[in-house]
Amino acid sequence: MKHLMSSVAALALAAGFAHAQTPDVPDNLEKLSNFQSTGTKEFTVIEQKGEYADGIKKNLERIKVPDGFKIGLYAIVPDARHMAVGPQGIVTFVGTRKDKVWAVTDRNKDRIADEVKDFAPSLTFSIPNGPCFSKDGFLYIAEQNRVLLFPAAEFFYESPDVAAFNLVKQGELVPSEHESFNHTARVCRIGPDGKAYISLGQPFNVAPAESLDEFKKWGIGGIIRINTDGTGREVYTYGVRNSVGHDFHPETGELWFTDNQVDGMGDDIPPGEINRQTAAGQNFGHPWYGGGSIRTKEYESEEPPADVVMPVAEMEAHAADLGMSFYTGSMFPERYKNAIFSAQHGSWNRTTPVGARVMVTFVDQEGKATSEPFAEGWMDENGEYLGRPVDVAQLRDGSLIVSDDLAGAVYRIWYEGN
């Protein structure tokens, strides 16, 4: 009963806070107790020092970054996936492809986290890969088949019972018969229009013809957007295979996204993609194209839609481009302003593995994109991964943090100059 009482109190507090901040919350507010609850009130706290941390620091000595840059261990975070840095700079939330979201706090502001514990341990999460923040401090978490919303999460995360609301109810993100585990690392970002943009990977290697109409309706194999009061859902992006990273250009506000391409066509094709979307409803070519202009075998005899948009940058085949962020900080040299930092998770069945690095992509005045490695060395001489980068985010001081779900860590990259 005590548990319930405290939930209700937190809810009332949060709801009050939410109303004070903005009216844009769904009207179907539900009490935390209505969600499936584990009854757990104890935090899982992750040890930040010791042999494991020392091992990761040793691996980081192998990582090459450009002159003047440094890389260090920011936090031990098991299964670390996509990240959302709190707008107040208090806490960074890190999603996983399991059942936890981690709250990472750097209390003493020495740019190394000193506390990592699970967020909202009384809630049962399912693949909470994609956290994102609105500017006014609402945390959204895109799961396998639900999107949760936590008002003022930066202030309430210290309690195990955090007020939680549905942005999209369980079972309403995709039809349950299309739920899957693979290609279900959803990513969420709030756009310049204030809407939540959520990627929905399609679960196949190549989407089958009989599913295309239904997928199109739901935005599976695409990116959807939805108002933060839960209304106005629409499919914004079509023809995507499995996008696991997107961000908005700081000046144009256009949506850019990575997309993972078809397997089983050979080691060197098809290329990975970074895409740029200039209007709502554009089609990026899956399943007719397997990546870039390479046609899939399954659809080779079909005429692809005439309006397919080709990628701005073709990336190394099978390197698995995941999270991406435009750089808007002032710490790095001028050439990095508005450049894209993106993570390559690394290939899974290529004869010689590729990837496992952080890339930087520069976009010139004509919109032409050029990519180069920015941080690399997470693969040893035997082709074994020492780490697999997943997402890149920017801290308020202009340094970058990079998540790694193999090592279970978040790194920080900063610029010191020469």
Partner 1 sequence: MRRLAIITMGGVILAHGLASHALAQTPVGEPKAGRQKAGMCRTCHGIEGRARIPIAPHIGGENAAYLAHQLTAFRDGTRVHEMMSVVAKGLDDQAIADLSAWYAGQQVAASLPPGKEEAMAPEACISCHGAGGLATIEDAPHLAGENAIYIDTQLKAFRSGKRKHPVMSEIAVGLSDAEIRAVANWYAGTRIEIEPVK
Binding flag, residue 376, partner 1 (CB under 8 A): no
**What is the nearest approach in angstroms of partner 1 to the Cβ of residue 338?**
33
The whole-angstrom separation of Cα 322 and Cα 98 is 17
The whole-angstrom separation of Cα 161 and Cα 148 is 14
- Indicate which single residue of 59, 134, 199, 205 sits in contact with partner 1 (rule: CB under 8 A): 205
Residue among 221, 249, 377, 218 nearest 312 (CA):
249
- Indicate which single residue of 180, 227, 282, 328 sits in contact with partner 1 (rule: CB under 8 A): 180
Binding flag, residue 353, partner 1 (CB under 8 A): yes
Binding flag, residue 17, partner 1 (CB under 8 A): no
Binding flag, residue 370, partner 1 (CB under 8 A): no
Among 16-24, 179-187, 221-229, 244-252, the segment contacting partner 1 (CB under 8 A) = 179-187
Q: Between 126 and 338, whose beta carbon lies closer to partner 1? A: 126
Binding flag, residue 40, partner 1 (CB under 8 A): no
Label residue 370 exposed, middle or buried (CB < 10 Å: 0-12, 13-18, 19+). exposed
Compute how many other C-beta atoms are within 10 angstroms of the C-beta atom of residue 352. 8
Binding flag, residue 195, partner 1 (CB under 8 A): no
Binding flag, residue 405, partner 1 (CB under 8 A): yes
- Indicate which single residue of 6, 22, 126, 328 sits in contact with partner 1 (rule: CB under 8 A): 126
Q: Between 80 and 167, whose beta carbon lies closer to partner 1? A: 80
- Indicate which single residue of 115, 179, 229, 298 sits in contact with partner 1 (rule: CB under 8 A): 179
- Indicate which single residue of 349, 364, 366, 418 sits in contact with partner 1 (rule: CB under 8 A): 349
**What is the nearest approach in angstroms of partner 1 to the Cβ of residue 263?**
5
Which x/- pattern over 135-154 shows residues binding partner 1 (rule: CB under 8 A)?
Answer: ---------x----------
The whole-angstrom separation of Cα 188 and Cα 146 is 12
- Indicate which single residue of 31, 98, 169, 216 sits in contact with partner 1 (rule: CB under 8 A): 98
Binding flag, residue 124, partner 1 (CB under 8 A): yes
Binding flag, residue 121, partner 1 (CB under 8 A): no
Binding flag, residue 102, partner 1 (CB under 8 A): no
* In contact, 188 and 141? CB cutoff 8 Å: yes
Contacts 24+ apart (CB under 8 A), 355-359: 355/316, 355/318, 355/319, 355/320, 356/385, 356/386, 356/387, 356/388, 356/389, 357/389, 358/389, 358/392, 358/400, 358/402, 358/413, 359/315, 359/321
**Interaction residues for partner 1, span 328-347 (CB under 8 A):** 346-347
At residue 194's C-alpha, the angle toward residues 20 and 324, to 5°, is 125
For residue 195 the two structure tokens come to 């809407």
**What is the nearest approach in angstroms of partner 1 to the Cβ of residue 94?**
14
The whole-angstrom separation of Cα 147 and Cα 200 is 12
**What is the nearest approach in angstroms of partner 1 to the Cβ of residue 323?**
16
Instruction: State yes or no: cis peptide before 333, omega within 30 of 0.
Output: no
The whole-angstrom separation of Cα 272 and Cα 263 is 11
Judged by the rule CB under 8 A, the positions of this chain that interact with partner 1 are 36, 38, 79, 96-99, 124, 126-127, 144, 177, 179-183, 203-205, 263-264, 346-349, 353, 383-385, 405-406
